[in-house]
Structure 1
Amino acid sequence: MNSTKPTCILCKTLQIIYYLIILCSYLTHVNCEQTNGTKTCAEVYEKGVEAYLDNKFQECVSYLENALVKYREYSKTLLNCRLKCRDEAEQSKPLNDIDIENLLFFEKILKNTLCLVKCKTTSTLNTEKYNINEELEHVFENRKPYEYLHLCYFQVKDLQKAASAAFTYLISHPEDKTMLATLKYYSSFDGVDMNEIVNYEARDYVYLYSHGAAAYEKKDWKSVINNMEESLTDFLQAGEECRAQCEGPFDHGWLPDFVPSIASKFHFSF
């Protein structure tokens, strides 16, 4: 009897937390529908594509660059929410000092979920500025905007950016022979310096490592140390963010994240 009693108390506590999650997710849904902000990331992207099709290339550049900025802001905010909530759940004080049937693990999952709901409700993720669905995430993660953007850059005579946009797309699609030929074509222009072509989506550690390697060749040991240390720090941070990014999305009807999905699964297994 003594062992059953604390188990029941903890189960009821966890169920209460779950109902709070349902309430919070409902409030999140209502708040999202009532928000009346600027154009969404999807709308800006669509405007950019329309401008390209209408041969309005300067507008195309403006819209697509804006869409990329919005998506980066969204991704960063989402990652910050996940990393923050994971750390808070790990460091939180347990409801019961005794880990009954490994319930401490699931308690942390539920706390993580509550934190995610709150974070998404109070942060800019919950505004029409983003409102990004899985399909649009796929578009941006596959670098689709650069497939249009490099052509628009070319038409407005910004050749260096056109080459960099084509290169950025090729990083994710190295088998694309058409884009490879296009980049080679861009490189034939006098205004394009192949040494200055950049990957617009590269993390800082890539360039820090390159600077460190260049400093090594020059025997500038202080710069080597500084750049390599910063490169390693950013690389490890990128790994953490990559793992956090893998937690979603999974749309099961109320909060499309991996951790809440586990919390929901646990509740219905009682």
Structure 2
Amino acid sequence: MAAPENSKIRWRSVCIGKITVIVCTILTILTQKCSALPDFPSVTYEMMYSAGLDAYSNQKWSDCMKFMSRAIEDYHFYTETLAECRRLCTKANKFNTQKPVDMQLAIFGNYVYKSNCIRKCKMTKFKTRPDNYSAEVDEAFENLKPYDYYQLCAFKIQLYQHAAAAAYTFLLSNKDNEAMQKNIHYYRSLPQVKDEFFVNLEEKPYQT
């Protein structure tokens, strides 16, 4: 199987400040069945993704899977909550734009009002969560790169059902990725891998 491309992102490049506290918090997350962000708002998908990359580099396959899974979960929580804030605040029009004389002032006033609305919503939802993320990491999540690492780490410890599902999910959004095409072909050749293992992990319940 072809390994995912090496990433230059490392845990130490993201973890700044109270490293010991954050590491202990992440280890706590790995032992609990909880959504990462609501319970540990200071630990983000970027941090867990970087920790997953370190686990991958150190061949700690089980930890790699756990970190990547938590990172994906937290990324969904963050992006969906942010989208909810924007939807709620888009509906808010404090100033009347029906009067032509005041049109420009009203438009500017509504822009400021909505910006403040989103900021307050984020503060309420995210509390102490950091709000700046690496463009490289965000691009990795948009391209479903965590699933690439997840499938390889799962394969290393013979968790073929997890590996097949993650590989299939990644390939759906990266159809021209030859390495993953070969991985899927390999998984299908394994006698213990069933057709029903190939599911889209990004698919929402209402889409099924």
TM-score relative to the length of structure 2: 0.72
Partner of 1:190: 191
Partner of 2:89: 85
Task: Determine the C-alpha separation between the residues in 1 that align with 2:136 and 2:103.
Answer: 37
**1:119 matched to 2:124:** no
Q: What amino acid sits opposite 2:56 in the alignment?
A: Y
TM-score relative to the length of structure 1: 0.57
**1:206 matched to 2:169:** no
- Call closer, same or farther: CA 1:188–1:127 in 2, change over 3 Å: same
Partner of 1:181: 182
After superposition, residues 64-213 of structure 1 pair within 5 angstroms as 64-89=68-93, 92=94, 94=96, 98-100=99-101, 102-103=103-104, 104-124=106-126, 126-128=128-130, 131-207=132-208
**Which entry has the higher C-alpha Rg, 1 or 2?**
1
SS for the counterpart of 1:45 is helix
Identity between Structure 1 and Structure 2 (%)? 30
1:206 deviates by 3.3
**1:41 matched to 2:45:** yes
Q: Which has the higher helix share?
A: 1
Greater than 4 Å deviation, 4+ residue runs:
none
Task: Determine the C-alpha separation between the residues in 2 that align with 1:136 and 1:113.
Answer: 25
Q: Which runs of 5+ in 1 are unaligned?
A: 1-32, 208-270
1:97 deviates by 6.0
Q: Is contact 2:164–2:197 with CA below 8 Å preserved after alignment?
A: no
1:62 counterpart (57, 62, 66): 66
Q: Is contact 2:95–2:110 with CA below 8 Å preserved after alignment?
A: no
Give a deviation string over 1:180-216, Cα, whole Å, max 9, x none: 0101101112222223421111234431xxxxxxxxx
**1:53 matched to 2:28:** no
User: How large is the RMSD of aligned CA atoms in angstroms?
Assistant: 2.4
Partner of 1:236: none
Q: What amino acid sits opposite 2:44 in the alignment?
A: T
Give a deviation string over 1:106-165, Cα, whole Å, max 9, x none: 33222211211211222216514x653433211101111111110111122211110111
After superposition, residues 242-261 of structure 1 pair within 5 angstroms as none
1:98 deviates by 2.1
Q: What amino acid sits opposite 2:50 in the alignment?
A: E
Aligned residues: 169
Give a deviation string over 1:45-88, Cα, whole Å, max 9, x none: 11111111111100111111111111111111111110010012
